[in-house]
């Protein structure tokens, strides 16, 4: 079941605690484009959106973010997810 954990490779960070010799993953071109051509906005905070999975709720103020984060924590608690 956990055979991947025993593979003898310098990229196996379960077996070797040091950094691998090269990149683990290369970012998608869309991610690079998003960094180079970022959208200007006034949002400072974000949290996962449990009403629309795969998306986030953004907030401009800490109080708005705290309300979004509290809703997320309530959802996690209702799901019985242990952190």
**Structural domain total, the chain:** 1
Tell whether the model's pLDDT for residue 28 goes beyond 90. yes
Written as six digits, the tokens of 40 are: 């200007």
- Number of Cβ within 10 Å of residue 78's Cβ equals 9
Strand (E) or helix (H) holding 4: none
Distance CA 76, CA 19 (A): 33
34-69: per-residue pLDDT in tens?
Answer: 999 999 989 899 999 999 999 999 999 999 999 999
User: Structural domain of residue 38, as residue ranges?
Assistant: 3-79
What is the reported pTM?
A: 0.55
pLDDT score for 4: 83
């Amino acid at each position: 079941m956990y055979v991947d954990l025993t593979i003898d490779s310098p990229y196996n960070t379960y077996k070797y605690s040091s950094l691998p010799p090269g990149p683990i993953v290369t970012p998608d071109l869309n991610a690079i484009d998003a960094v180079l051509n970022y959208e200007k906005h006034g949002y400072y905070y974000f949290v996962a959106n449990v009403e629309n999975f795969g998306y986030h709720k953004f907030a401009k103020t800490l109080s708005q973010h705290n309300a979004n984060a509290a809703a997320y924590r309530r959802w996690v608690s209702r799901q019985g997810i242990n952190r």
